[in-house]
Structure 1
Amino acid sequence: MWRPSDGGWPRAVLCLFAAAWIWLFLLPMERFGLLVNARGFLPILLALAVIHWLPWRWLRAGAALVLSVVAVAVFFAPGMPWADRLAWVWGHEWRQAVALLQDHALADPLQTHLFILGLCAMYWLVAYAIRRTRLWVFYNLLGVGVLGLIDANTPVHPDGVMVGVLALFLVSLGVAHFMRLRHRASGAGPGPARFFVPLTAVLAVSLAAGWALPKRGPVWANPFAPGGGGTGGSVRVIGYQVDNSHLGGSFVMDHTPVLSVVTDYPAYLRGQAYDLYTGKGWLAEQHLVSTYSYGQPLTSGAVDASVLPGKAVRQTVTVLASHLNAGVLFGAYVPNVVLSFNGQNSGTVMADPRQGTFFVRPLRQGDAYTVESYELQAPGAKLAGIPLPAPDGRDANLPPSVLADLEVPASLPQRVRDLARQVTSGASDEYDAVQRVAAYLQANYQYATDGIPVPGPNQDYVDQFLFESKKGYCNNFSTAMAVMLRTIGVPARWVTGFTEGSVDPAYTGPGQRYTVENADAHAWVEVYFPGAGWVPFDPTPNFSMPYLPSPTDPSAGSTDEGNTTQPIQPPKPPQDAPDVSGGNAQGPGGGPGPWLWRGLAALVAVSAAGVVVFRRRLRSWWHHRAWRGEPAHAMWAGLQRLMRLLRKNGDLPQGAATLRDLKRAARRYDIPETEYRHLVRTAESAFYGAATVPPEEAEQVRRTWSRWLEAALRWPGKR
């Protein structure tokens, strides 16, 4: 009859340590947005520790499989009877498995179930390694190296995780060594207090000293920092991005001040407009760039001031960040005149009249400029009544310059077009259709910055957001709105910049001063209305385009007073269960490129597979290295290796043993009696009689030893 105490408390401690070691690595994954709620995986890991502690190995795989099913049922089907939970899980996972094979689309609960099964496999590997010193050292060197790369090259700094991993590594080494000592001494080794009190004291002093001592700053500059040339990575630090060709992924908030803006009216700071949607992100189409002098108005034609009400707004902008990674002058909608740059009132600047954007060299910390922009008042009343363009994009009222803003990829899924038509069905005019799309996105999709996936090779960014993830941030909402409008014949382009920022209460000069942070980086949409021009809209929930107040209502500065249409709300899209495991979080900016991570992952996978496949050959090579040098010395080292291996296989008792104790093991591994006797006689004469071993005798012993070693490696513990 087995009792829990038979497992031994040291083994139970190692099982718990393996669970804790894996859980520590889940914390940076949570910060990256690769999974949600790392604490939710603690019960699973603790259950795996209990399962691994059980002595019945045949039970462990089945118990882990049952555990994964139970965990998925608890996460995704709460409140149901257990029979209904299991039926719901199996039914959904079967359909998702079929979809995975056909469309290469992975969704929950199958996605989370596979992750939990992978977690089970990882636990088994760690629990196996934690009792094998060399393998455990390799695991921890690899783990600390990965944490070091994350700390150095991303905005996530897992300092506490690294300390915890190292502490678990050292303590687990001590526990494993204690178990070996007790086993060799048949349970009569040192007591736990005598062994662990000094170990704990040394570890505590080391950790305290390491925490208290001053740390030197980084020696080398971070090559993946913003502005350092890196364009890809797993998680982005929110901030203004020039390269938006690959959107998606989570981001980490960064409240570093970027700009200081002195103005009379708060306004979005418009940066650059993008015309070409690729299915993965946006590209800025090249247009005619002209030279403008300071004080010369930009004849952009972006908005017809005679149709849409507004007024000139002056802004003095100072760059606060050391790395802004932008070569445009930010201003309210739309920048019209550059009045000065770095204190100079005369000079030239490049501009794109069609975009309405002023281009300069990359802005640096301390740069200051003053721009005058035409800012719109609430345009709803003036836009109402403008008819919808023809859905095929051949409307005679659209000038040729906006036709590029109707293009969508040929690979855009049909369901995106169908949804756009459904949402705008019955719209009375273009403005009504635009408002319906914005209201639909705000009402039916969740604003979130964590667990945001990146489209796969065969996925469209907008389609993934609208029908799969159903959550995202400004990039997702604004891109979805622009693409949906294009499918119904409405020209739309994607715009990046900053929101208005926050008021600086310490400022006492004229107007008000606003501090803009990296966290204020934003994206929105500009829609073309025939006869009126380009008008900005913001479909992101909890954001509002800050149009200027109208002269009759100065307080209405943050809403569109002309919006009296109540959009028709079509049925909400089907809602899947909450995303437990999060999404893939690759995206541009903030870390090494995807090719580097994929290369490292492939290298690790190939190395691990090679170790598994060639494990016996690698061990054989390691043992044969002992048979080198002078014959007597090589014979001694080789036989010591053989005896340690036989002890590990259980063919020799722990403790002292002589060559003559190998007789039973020789029979087990089919070593002929004559060869065994020759090995013992030659070795004893060399070790104890100081006799010189002839080369041919040493070679015969080496061949016997080699065959014996290979048999012990191939069939450990052969009976």
Structure 2
Amino acid sequence: MNEAQRTMKAVFMHLLAFWLLWEWLVPLKTISDTGNIYVFIIFVAGCLGLAFFRVRFWLGALVKSLYIFYVLNMLFFQQPLLSVSLVVDLTSMAVHHFYLLIHFQFAEMTDSFRTLLFFLLLWISAYLLCYWLFAQKRLFLFYALTVGYVAVLDTFTAYQGKAAMIRLVVLGFLLLSWLHYERLVEKEKLLSGNRTWWKPFVFFASVSLLISYTAPKLQPQWPDPVPFIKSYAGGGEDEEEGKEPAVKKIGYGTNDSRLGGPFVADDTVVFYAEAKKRHYWRVETKDVYTGKGWEASESVEIHTFERENDVLKWFEENVEKEMLTAAVNFHQRLFPHLVYPAGLTSVIVSGDVVFRLHAANEKIYVTNRESYAVRLGRYEMTYEYPSFSVEKLRQAPVMQDSKLLQRYTQLPPNLPERVKELARQITNGKENQYDKVKAVEQYFRLNGYFYETKEVAVPSEQEDYVDQFLFETKKGYCDNFSTSMIVLLRSVGIPARWVKGYTSGQLVNSEENGMNVYEITNNNAHSWVEVYFEGIGWVPFEPTQGFSNPYSFTEQQSIAETTPIPEQTQREERQTPLNDELQKEDKRSSNVNDKLTAVFASLSWKEMVLGMFSLLVVSFILFKTKRKWRPYITLWLFHYRRDQQIFTKAYLSLLKHLDDYGLKRKSGQTLRQYAAYVDDWFGTNEMSRLTFLYEKAIYEKDHVHIEWAQVKELWENLIKKTVS
């Protein structure tokens, strides 16, 4: 085989390695809160590219480290790359999280450190994959894990793995066959110039795929494994087999890119609220509808305020408002963001903190002066409780802000035409924006749509989430109703946005000062609609069956809108468990040990098991690859040593590395005989020279440490040979 053929083979093998790791990364956007997947794909491509060009280890490690450094700064810190403050932030992050790691406090890790760990995992995975491909020429275990990974995700999550499974069957078998052929060539000393080895494989693989595609299929004997597994585990739910979708959601979550599927009831208390009147508790808004779910506009714009909210305004001056106060007490877990009512004017809290509002989604984070996240257990607020005049809403003019109109009337280009046609039919004959909005809001209550939490469909790759709900299923929960209303409104040019947070919760106590205490649980996680009216501001609407708008609309026909929300209709949940997103690390305070101990005590057994399993996996990988990294540790340790016994200790450490390498010293074999065996293996005389000096040190008590500087290079050469 000539050089060009070897190069082409190496290129193809590296492309197949990249493809295998790519199959692991692609589903993350669907099944988790992981964003910016492209930065990890670029990193994997870079690792394999450096391996292909055989870049020296230290140089490759430097390039990878600089890339990780750049990405972490781009996503989390946004500081000048060469600034001292960035180095201080990264150092503080590493020190703080090292303490969390050794105490197994994984729940307190921030997204920036999780991202760093994920980069390191990909670094190790790329290295191991290259080792298995080019050194061992065996990849069946990793291939089997990939197939199992895709199969599990396709079965139990919203990820559609059909195309991935086809790719794995075709390309995976090709890769395994190729590696088997390479092993035969190496073992039997065959000529590797045979270019026809792949033809039988392609023929038999094509015939097998054709037969499997055209052959009659037996109906599944196990239509859906999820109910079976749940019943086997003692779930005891009497659900019809095959009816339960794969996606389950619970409580408040941050990833709304893939909506649909049922949720499971969870009465875990999130916080207690003290307020005079009922209202919704906001967390964030989203404005980009993708056809499958919601995303926030890409923006890094952040507005800050300290006590008085002078950066965010919901209502114009002509809206009648009542100034009220409220307090929030978190029950167990503390979050680095606020839950707050619309109309927030100020936040009253002890301590020197700064509130940072993300312009893209109106999520308000709490930090200290150094931009480290702060988690508040209790805070009080003042806010404006609005009372909307229906007459003024009807008289509101058409929006004049073209930029705002474009942002909040966005729709995907492939939205089915029948959705737009339905919107025109609903609003036909309505002369003002308010009547059009009310017509859409009431449409769901009058046309056979039902509130459902279990048998909720997940749209396929070809289906639109709203189209499926409006015309196919007609049953769902708050996400279905609120998203559908927004899409219908946008279809006729009315600006609207998706808001998520919590309902007012369940009344548990009424105090003498007129304040009511409400209990808000994961079941109260909710989403609703806000519509923009020129000259008035953002007005909330509630399309979900069984829920009533908690805000006041002053006109006789709006009595239904101001009816208090029945307690029994206040229990709903949605989305995956809340995961902190894009936050800076907490600054360690004087009582950090007490806080971390409390967090450790609150960890569930599942988190503990997951942490132990992760440590076992990392330990196993380090143990299996110890021959690759331990020699460099030894070289570093002996580089600065100057004691009298340095040479004897270095020689004994060399014997251990040679033994790990596979050059075992036989029973009864003298050091000189063993040195001759090592030199014969490596084709040098370095081991014999070192052994002679070692015997001189042992038997003649000579001060050979003086000669260490001269023989150090021989010792280092032999240590490095044990790595190859």
Q: TM-score range by the shorter chain?
A: 0.3 to 0.5
Q: Normalized against structure 1, the TM-score is what?
A: 0.43
Q: Between Structure 1 and Structure 2, whose CA radius of gyration is higher?
A: 1
